[in-house]
Amino acid sequence: MVDGPKVYADVTFAINLVMDFVILWATARLAGMRIVFPRLFTAALLGAIYSVLYLYLAMTLCYSVPAKILFSCLLLILGLAPQTWTEFKKALVYFYGISFAVAGASIAVSYLMVAPGEGFRFSYLWLLAGAIFALLIGVYGEKYLLRRIVPNLLRFGVELRFGAQSCNGQGFLDTGNGLKDPLTKRPVVVAEYEFLKQCLPEDFQQAFDDTRDEDDILDRLSQSSWASRLRIIPFSSIGRKNGILVGIRADAILVNMGKNKVLHNNVVIGIYRDKLSQDGSYHLLIPSEIINQG
């Protein structure tokens, strides 16, 4: 009979304490949640104790799959203190995603360390590799998510329709866009002037191209061929408490969300003179109400 590797309670405790702490920390980083190290340590400590007890109570209901899931939820609540159900769900997804990634990295390293023809041999080095991988996720994963993944998830193909004319481009979901049309109280989509220009009549374009004086622009637009589409949208921003944004009513906006398409009729489009995106990756800001009401 061949003896398997011996498992020591103190080593199991130390390994799980470190791993749970690092995974919880990385979860908090990616989820954008406040990191409180005493809370993380307390949760990791509880997780380490739970792992040690597994050596003695492995066959009990406390270590069934549902019990393990409930216990991981408890660790998240204790360690990260999510304030809302949405925040908790996001943290749970990141927690399991990081846990599976770390487990995969650890197993991969363990097989790389085995020489050809040899059987699997347990080594604490592959656990160290897993902890280092979790640290890398926490340090660099947040930047990658914010720069690459999140922007792609929040960008949608958009079509604006003005009679027989249409403008097609990329819109970015802007949860902070609270502009409302004073007449209809409906949310306002903000679009770059250069993007809209191809759909605007010539006299409308000339009013924008000839001057930046708001009073002069409004006077000329009120006499243009699209005067009936004209809207004035008040707004407040940093350094400007009583600004106005020239808007124009579109017959329809179609937002392509992949499997689903959201269509709204008679939506007001606020015209923004400058670029909304420095790299030109999107041309419109779509308020969340446009998506949610679809």
Question: Which tens digit of pLDDT belongs to each residue from 222-244?
Answer: 888 888 888 888 876 545 556 77
- For residue 74, the model assigns a pLDDT of 92
> For residue 103, how many C-alpha atoms fall within 13 Å in the half-sphere facing its CB?
8
Mean pLDDT, the chain, whole residue set: 78
- Give the residue among 21, 33, 47 at the shortest CA–CA distance from 90: 33
Q: Is the pTM of this model over 0.75?
A: no
**23 within 8 A of 134, measured Cβ to Cβ:** yes
Domain 155-292 has CATH 2.40.70: yes
Residues of the chain by 3-state class (helix, strand, coil), percent to 5: 50, 20, 25
DSSP code string of 252-283 = EEEEE-SS-EEEEEEEEEEEESS-S-TTSS-S
- For residue 219, the model assigns a pLDDT of 85
Q: What is the pLDDT of residues 15-24, one digit of tens each?
A: 778 888 888 8
Is residue 50's pLDDT more than 60? yes
Q: Percent of the chain having pLDDT more than 70?
A: 74
